[in-house]
Chains A and B, each alone.
Chain A
Amino acid sequence: MESLYRFPAPDFTSGYQLPWPETPPPEGSLLFALDLILLILALALTGYFALHRRSRKGITLILGLSLLYFGFIRGGCICPVGSVQNVALAVADASYRIPVTVIFFFFLPLLTALFFGRLFCGGPCPLGAIQDLVLLRPLRVPGRIDSALRLLPPLYLGVAILAATTDSGFLICRFDPFVSLFRFSGPLYMIAAGFLFLGIGIFVFRPYCRYLCPYGVLLGWISRFSWRHLTLKEESCASCGYCEDSCPEEAVLPPLSEPREAKKQGLRRLMILLLLLPLITAAGGGLGYLLHRPASQMNMSVALAERVAREEAGLVAGSTRYSEAFRESGISLESLYTEALQVQETFRRGSIITGLFLGLLFGLKLTGASLVRRRSSWTIDRSRCFSCGRCFDSCPVERRSGASP
């Protein structure tokens, strides 16, 4: 919503004094402490309901309460999803003082994931909660589309960290589709995006979590090594496959038939991919280098400098309010261009690193797809499973044993 003070005040003849906006005082640390305590509580309760009681109802309750408190009452901030950027900025810029609460918000869900899987996704996350609660009739996303979309979260993570560390803003927060719904305020396009995601979420399970959430990338990696993850009743499995059908995230993996390929062939393919891994990583770095100038447009100074240079060269007609404000400021063109070039230099380094990271991930994905796995029963994919507990109700063994209230 536009500020009241974007245009000159009228000439009041009645003597009315227009109040000036004031900077609100910072929130008390007590509230942040409460946030932290409630996060710990929510994680603990989600773990209790998911791992001990195996109760979907209990998890749903936590989802509802998290949505209410972390979503609508606290406005979706602070949240671990955006804290990735704070941590990245703190690592890159020694002068940035990251709040202690943010550090806890970043590390606690990861620590929990290391022990018990993605409990944060299952309960406390307000973004996941709102999507989980709107699901009505889950549809299976076609494999090709699903595979392609699942490459977006690490890309988003890399770009968000690049933007945060180059002083180009916190993209994850700026483009969070649900924050505007939590706060009943925001740019119109973000409100529309929020409703769009919810609309999709009626049929596609947690679209933001599966296909965009950058923090989910980290949780997924760590969950692979979790100590006591949520499991199926494998020892008494009836081989009905209902658990696989009930999981809208498709995190329940079916058993695999015997591979119809010679072991030697598979090993050869794996070795080739491993040898190519450094090349693929380097190619990612090269692509990152090629993209550093377009990427630098994320930064306001670079974007402004480009716009002003185009106006100066007569390549664009008119001006924007930003270029007009710049000309009114009295700052020299040289200063603007110099600053823009310095930022681009920072982007060059950052983009190469981001490219190397994404290239490595891509290479590992190709390599991982070459590993011939063996599964004799239904198993949970720990990196994908949100610990939402939907599989409890569908399992006839669980229902018979009364383990699923």
Chain B
Amino acid sequence: MKLQMTPGTRKLYRRTFAIAAAMSGSFFAVLAILISANALQLAINPPLESPALNRLTERLFEDPSDEQLRQEIRELQLLSRRAYFSRIYQIERGFYLMAGSFALLLLFLKGWALSSGVPLLLRRRGSGLTEDPVDGGRQGRLRALAFAGVFIALVALGSAAFSWRISGAALEAPGVDAPGTAAALPAGLDEEEMRAVMLNWPSFRGPWGQGNSEKTVETGGQIHWTTPVPKKGFSSPLVWENAVFLTGGDAEGLEVYRFDLETGELVWIRSLEDIFGSRRELPGVTEDTGYAAATPALDGERVFAIFASGDLVCLNFEGETLWMKNLGIPDNLYGHSSSLITYGSTLFVQFDHNEEALLYAFDTSTGEELWKQERDVVTSWASPVIIFHDSVPQLVLNADPYVIAYDPEGGGELWRADCMGGEVAVSIAWDGERVYAANQYAVAAAIDPSDGTILWEEFIDLPEVSSPIAKEGLLFMATSYGVVTCRDGATGELLWEAEFDEGFYSSPIEAGGIIYLADRGGTVHIFEASADYKAIGSFSLGEACDATPAVAGGSLIFRTENRLVRAGEDQ
């Protein structure tokens, strides 16, 4: 577009606009430099953090009664604040002037362009009006590949130059090492799998069945939500990310549940009748064991559940059946209650009953039986635990008369300790150094995991159902008549004992150096995992509780008689 004017007029306009544009452009440039310098100075020498002010403040901390010093600080602070806000004001005003001068610059440049007759056209590229499509395509491909090459090279350089502190095996902050996590990765697990287990609650008593959690719990007893569980059971809740899993059963049916961690909403129910397509044959069980006493297991993608009927099922997290089998109805006086556990891609089933005692290993994805070990023990209601001794995994089972450790890979026996007796429902504990096994009317023993040597034995205040927990050389046990003891793991010496009104079936769990233990009346007792008894507090769940809680999202998930309860701070 061109303005219609005489050459002389056009020249005059052109010159005027050029001068005006130069002036506004210079003004803009000067402002930009001044404001940048101001902001830079503010960043390098912030008035509010002047060394003089800091020195005076430190002197005031040493002598708070010095009124003259206090007055001096007030005056200096006032000057600092004035300087600070003065600079901010200058930057603010300068910015408005910059915007204005830039707008003027653009306006004058437009005027100059119009009066000069500068065409708003691109310079024609190449010669001729047409393009060669093949050549154009080749150039396009080459350019895209060149860009990709440069990008990948930059990524490779950048990644090589940056080393990461935050990774599962590389965390070296104090207190982060949890029992069972050695500096080297155990055989059969990669870093991701290890981290995933430690961050979730995938089996009875948490990661590896040891009862310890790397996480901390923030609870003053606030109940975040409660949800009715459709059928009763004594299995404990499990958590993987935002999903909570549980089982329940009665004479009418056996079921697997998934709940939402945030809301407590029941997401889905799967009944074994639907899974198998037929009504399940049920054995006789006692009321305090029921049909769903064994806690399921999770591996991040699947939930595995076993019931008193000997039915073993595998579902994905959406509730779809992946595989199922029946191990035969166990001849078990009270009802099967040994919980499941996974390690890598293997699911372990402790199946000790009157007719035979077996340890099964199944492939988690297909259910194929990998191996089976016959055990010369009697019926057991305890659950397998995985420990890591010198970075080597061991699968440790408690039963009468032996505590036996197996190699998870092939089922080979690693050691056995002949120390146990009675009806064993208590699982072992592990503190990174020693295995502890106990049972009421029998013994509490510490065992060397390198060869099964019994290090010490004690015979009083022993647990009947609640599995003990160990932390940094301290062993904590809870009895069914309300006594909680702490023993020195090295010697067995009793360090303290505490008595409560109700007995304990639920196993204690430890998180962040704090032990949480629910009694049969539904009161959760909180105390320090230390050599001196330090009670922190307690709160009520409102119902009886025999199952063991899970740690998830900074809170605890309890199964009470009829409900699932999340207790913790509002997240």
Asked if residues B166 and A338 are in contact (CB atoms below 8 Å), the reply is no
* Whole-angstrom distance between the Cβ of A243 and the nearest chain B Cβ: 10
Chain A residue at minimum C-beta to C-beta distance from B218: A335
Given contacts A202-B109, A254-B131, contact A245 B155 (CB under 8 A): no
Chain B residue at minimum C-beta to C-beta distance from A284: B148
Q: List A contacts of B165 (CB < 8 A).
A: 306, 309-310, 313, 315
Kindly state whether residue A211 has any CB partner on chain B within 8 Å: no
Asked if residues B173 and A312 are in contact (CB atoms below 8 Å), the reply is yes
Kindly state whether residue B106 has any CB partner on chain A within 8 Å: yes
Kindly state whether residue A18 has any CB partner on chain B within 8 Å: no
Asked if residues A255 and B129 are in contact (CB atoms below 8 Å), the reply is yes
Asked if residues B214 and A334 are in contact (CB atoms below 8 Å), the reply is yes
Q: Which of A218-253 contact B (CB under 8 A)?
A: 239, 241-242, 244-248, 250
Asked if residues A250 and B512 are in contact (CB atoms below 8 Å), the reply is no
Asked if residues B166 and A147 are in contact (CB atoms below 8 Å), the reply is no
Chain A residue at minimum C-beta to C-beta distance from B152: A287
From A95, A134, A184, B95 is in contact (CB under 8 Å) with: A184
Instruction: Give the CA-CA distance A342 to B215 in the complex, in Å.
Output: 12
* Whole-angstrom distance between the Cβ of A334 and the nearest chain B Cβ: 6
From B130, B159, B554, A257 is in contact (CB under 8 Å) with: B130
Chain A residue at minimum C-beta to C-beta distance from B511: A334
Q: List A contacts of B88 (CB < 8 A).
A: 1-2
Q: List A contacts of B139 (CB < 8 A).
A: 143, 147
Asked if residues A10 and B78 are in contact (CB atoms below 8 Å), the reply is yes
Instruction: Give the CA-CA distance A365 to B77 in the complex, in Å.
Output: 61
Kindly state whether residue B123 has any CB partner on chain A within 8 Å: yes
Q: Which of B85-105 contact A (CB under 8 A)?
A: 88, 91-92, 95-96, 98-99, 102
Q: List B contacts of A291 (CB < 8 A).
A: 155, 159
Kindly state whether residue B52 has any CB partner on chain A within 8 Å: no
Asked if residues B199 and A254 are in contact (CB atoms below 8 Å), the reply is no
Instruction: Give the CA-CA distance A98 to B290 in the complex, in Å.
Output: 47
In the complex, per-residue mask of A305-345: 1 if CB is within 8 Å of any chain B CB, else 0: 11011101101000000000000000011110110111010
Q: List B contacts of A294 (CB < 8 A).
A: 158-159, 162
Asked if residues A7 and B48 are in contact (CB atoms below 8 Å), the reply is yes
In the complex, per-residue mask of A68-89: 1 if CB is within 8 Å of any chain B CB, else 0: 0000000000000000000000
Kindly state whether residue A45 has any CB partner on chain B within 8 Å: no
Q: List A contacts of B147 (CB < 8 A).
A: 147-148, 151
* Whole-angstrom distance between the Cβ of A31 and the nearest chain B Cβ: 25
Instruction: Give the CA-CA distance A333 to B177 in the complex, in Å.
Output: 12
In the complex, per-residue mask of B15-39: 1 if CB is within 8 Å of any chain A CB, else 0: 0000000000000000010011001
* Whole-angstrom distance between the Cβ of B351 and the nearest chain A Cβ: 34
Asked if residues B134 and A337 are in contact (CB atoms below 8 Å), the reply is no
Kindly state whether residue B59 has any CB partner on chain A within 8 Å: no
Chain B residue at minimum C-beta to C-beta distance from A290: B159
Instruction: Give the CA-CA distance A176 to B137 in the complex, in Å.
Output: 33
From A255, A302, A337, B171 is in contact (CB under 8 Å) with: A337
Asked if residues A309 and B140 are in contact (CB atoms below 8 Å), the reply is no
Q: List A contacts of B141 (CB < 8 A).
A: 366, 369-370
Q: List B contacts of A242 (CB < 8 A).
A: 121
Chain A residue at minimum C-beta to C-beta distance from B77: A10
Given contacts A294-B158, A332-B216, A371-B137, contact A139 B122 (CB under 8 A): yes
Kindly state whether residue A34 has any CB partner on chain B within 8 Å: no
Kindly state whether residue B110 has any CB partner on chain A within 8 Å: yes
Q: List B contacts of A275 (CB < 8 A).
A: none
Chain B residue at minimum C-beta to C-beta distance from A2: B88
**B interface, size bucket:** 35 or more
Q: Which of B241-287 contact A (CB under 8 A)?
A: 262
Asked if residues A362 and B134 are in contact (CB atoms below 8 Å), the reply is no
Given contacts A293-B164, A309-B173, contact A255 B130 (CB under 8 A): yes
- The prevalent SS among residues of A at the interface is helix
Given contacts A137-B113, A139-B122, A338-B214, contact A333 B144 (CB under 8 A): no
| Interface 9-mer from A22-30, A111-119, A258-266 | A258-266
* Whole-angstrom distance between the Cβ of A204 and the nearest chain B Cβ: 11
Chain A residue at minimum C-beta to C-beta distance from B178: A334
Q: List B contacts of A10 (CB < 8 A).
A: 74, 77-78, 81
* Whole-angstrom distance between the Cβ of A379 and the nearest chain B Cβ: 12
Q: Which of A270-310 contact B (CB under 8 A)?
A: 287, 290-291, 293-294, 302, 305-306, 308-310
Kindly state whether residue B172 has any CB partner on chain A within 8 Å: yes
Asked if residues B122 and A148 are in contact (CB atoms below 8 Å), the reply is no
Instruction: Give the CA-CA distance A202 to B102 in the complex, in Å.
Output: 12
Asked if residues A259 and B77 are in contact (CB atoms below 8 Å), the reply is no
Asked if residues A246 and B134 are in contact (CB atoms below 8 Å), the reply is no
* Whole-angstrom distance between the Cβ of B571 and the nearest chain A Cβ: 12
* Whole-angstrom distance between the Cβ of B382 and the nearest chain A Cβ: 29
* Whole-angstrom distance between the Cβ of B28 and the nearest chain A Cβ: 8
Instruction: Give the CA-CA distance A5 to B123 in the complex, in Å.
Output: 55
Number of interface residues of A (CB under 8 A): 80
Instruction: Give the CA-CA distance A151 to B99 in the complex, in Å.
Output: 31
From B113, B140, B173, A369 is in contact (CB under 8 Å) with: B140
Asked if residues B99 and A137 are in contact (CB atoms below 8 Å), the reply is no
* Whole-angstrom distance between the Cβ of A288 and the nearest chain B Cβ: 10
Kindly state whether residue A191 has any CB partner on chain B within 8 Å: yes
Asked if residues B134 and A195 are in contact (CB atoms below 8 Å), the reply is no
Asked if residues B74 and A11 are in contact (CB atoms below 8 Å), the reply is yes
Q: List A contacts of B39 (CB < 8 A).
A: 188
Q: List A contacts of B134 (CB < 8 A).
A: 259-261, 266, 372
Chain B residue at minimum C-beta to C-beta distance from A247: B122
Q: List A contacts of B168 (CB < 8 A).
A: 341
Kindly state whether residue B44 has any CB partner on chain A within 8 Å: no
Instruction: Give the CA-CA distance A390 to B162 in the complex, in Å.
Output: 48
Q: List B contacts of A246 (CB < 8 A).
A: 120-122
Kindly state whether residue B124 has any CB partner on chain A within 8 Å: yes
Asked if residues B140 and A147 are in contact (CB atoms below 8 Å), the reply is yes
Kindly state whether residue B195 has any CB partner on chain A within 8 Å: yes
Asked if residues A245 and B81 are in contact (CB atoms below 8 Å), the reply is no
Chain B residue at minimum C-beta to C-beta distance from A12: B74
Asked if residues A332 and B132 are in contact (CB atoms below 8 Å), the reply is no
From A151, A195, A338, A394, B98 is in contact (CB under 8 Å) with: A195
Asked if residues B130 and A137 are in contact (CB atoms below 8 Å), the reply is no
Asked if residues B155 and A372 are in contact (CB atoms below 8 Å), the reply is no
In the complex, per-residue mask of B28-64: 1 if CB is within 8 Å of any chain A CB, else 0: 0000100110010000000010000000000000000
* Whole-angstrom distance between the Cβ of B208 and the nearest chain A Cβ: 17
Kindly state whether residue A373 has any CB partner on chain B within 8 Å: yes
Chain A residue at minimum C-beta to C-beta distance from B170: A309
Kindly state whether residue B333 has any CB partner on chain A within 8 Å: no
* Whole-angstrom distance between the Cβ of B152 and the nearest chain A Cβ: 7
Kindly state whether residue B146 has any CB partner on chain A within 8 Å: yes
Q: Which of B518-543 contact A (CB under 8 A)?
A: none
- A sample of 15 more A-B contacts (CB under 8 A), given A138-B120, A309-B166, A337-B173, is A136-B120, A137-B118, A138-B122, A140-B122, A202-B106, A254-B130, A255-B129, A255-B131, A306-B164, A313-B173, A332-B175, A333-B173, A341-B195, A365-B140, A369-B144
The 15 sampled A-B contact pairs (Cβ below 8 Å) are: A140-B122, A140-B123, A140-B125, A151-B144, A188-B39, A198-B102, A239-B129, A257-B130, A257-B133, A312-B172, A333-B176, A334-B173, A341-B167, A362-B148, A365-B140
Residues of chain B at the chain A interface (Cβ within 8 Å): 1, 32, 35-36, 39, 48, 74, 77-78, 81, 88, 91-92, 95-96, 98-99, 102, 106, 109-110, 113, 118, 120-125, 129-134, 136-141, 143-148, 152, 155, 158-159, 162, 164-168, 171-176, 195, 199, 214-216, 262, 512, 554
Q: A-B pairs with the 5 shortest C-beta distances?
A: A369-B140, A309-B165, A147-B143, A256-B133, A245-B121
